[in-house]
Structure 1
Amino acid sequence: MAQPVTDEGAESKSARTRKRILDAAAYILSRKGYAGTRLSEVAELAELQAPAIYYYFASRDDVVEEVMWSGIADMRAHVSEALDTLPASTSPLARIMVAVEAHLRHELEISDYTTASIRNAAQVPEKIRTRQVAEEIAYGTVWKKLFKDAAEAGALAEHLDLGAARMLILGALNWAAEWWTPEAGPLDAVVRAAQTMVISGLGPGGNPSPLDV
Structure 2
Amino acid sequence: CPGGCPARCPAQTELQSPYVREHFDIGKFWGVFYEVAFHDSTQPRAWPIRASCQRSVKSPHPSDPGNYKDLFSLNEGPGSGVNAVCDLEFNITEKPGVFMGHWSSTSLWNPNLTNIANTVVDVGVAPNGTYEWTLEFQCREYDDPSKGIRFAAVNFYHRKPVIDESEFDAMMSRLRARGLGWVADASPGLTMVDQQKCIDHQSYPPLDAKP
Q: Same fold (TM over 0.5)?
A: no
Q: Calculate the TM-score normalised by the size of structure 1.
A: 0.27
Q: Calculate the TM-score normalised by the size of structure 2.
A: 0.27
Higher helix share: 1
Does 1 or 2 have the higher relative contact order (CA < 8 Å, sep 6+)? 2
Q: Higher Cα Rg: structure 1 or 2?
A: 1
Higher strand share: 2
